[in-house]
Amino acid sequence: MKLLKKIKYSGKLTLVTGLHVGGTNTSLGIGGVDSTVIRNPIDNLPYIPGSSLKGKMRSLLEMKLGLTDNGEPTKDPSNNVGRLFGTSSNNKGGSRSRIIVRDAFLNTEKTPVFKNADLGYTESKTENAIDRIKVISNPRTIERVPAGAVFDINFILDIYDCDEKHEDELKQTLELGIRLLEEDYLGGNGSRGYGQVKIKWDEGSPTEIKF
């Protein structure tokens, strides 16, 4: 396989509703947050791991196109999802991923949205789970990035010499994954309204990098 070019997609991911991508609770105090978000250990700002974006898009595409193998990710490298995201080695052979999804970092220039955030760049949301048998409430506090926050996103699509006939299909599959994500949710608690996002590419994106 010879790498012909890279196609770079750059844009902004805006939260329509609050986002919770879970992190590790380093400490838990009485009255504190029960479920924290993942943060960059350098600047302590919340971010969206590339694996969360990539995994969600792949899952949605497989459901849309009916490409799961008994509920597991497709292992067929010849279909558009297997070709775009790669497959593990099996009796059909494996294939490398054509798509690189970078971690999405918080764009702190959009500061007004954080003005009333009680945890700095995040907010706490208290929910109450009810035990329907014992009729006992179980309140919990979840940390999330507030609606209106903006993350910088970057995807790289690799095109190899064996992909020349499939380049348009790879691009279309990626764009379909974006549209499906916008109509679904990212992170946890999506059925309760969390994680609705909107993605807009920067002007001039995508751009080609040839070698």
DSSP line for 10-36: EEEEEESS-B--B---S---TTS-SBP
Given pLDDT bands bounded at 50, 70 and 90, which one contains residue 25?
Answer: low
Which run of H or of E encompasses 5? strand 3-15
Residue 3 has a CB neighbour count (10 Å cut-off) of 12
Instruction: Report the pLDDT value the prediction gives residue 77, as an integer from 0 to 100.
Output: 81
Q: What is the pLDDT of residues 104-149, one digit of tens each?
A: 999 988 666 777 776 778 888 877 666 666 656 667 788 999 999 9
- CB half-sphere exposure, 166, CA atoms < 13 A: 19
Q: What is the Cα–Cα distance from 38 to 36, expressed in whole angstroms?
A: 7
- Tokens 């329509």, residue located: 16
Q: What is the Cα–Cα distance from 186 to 182, expressed in whole angstroms?
A: 9
The residue ranking higher by pLDDT, 202 or 87, is 202
- Tokens 């997609």, residue located: 9
**How does the average pLDDT of the chain come out, rounded?**
85
CB 211 within 8 A of CB 160: no
Given pLDDT bands bounded at 50, 70 and 90, which one contains residue 95?
Answer: confident
Token pair for 93: 């052979």
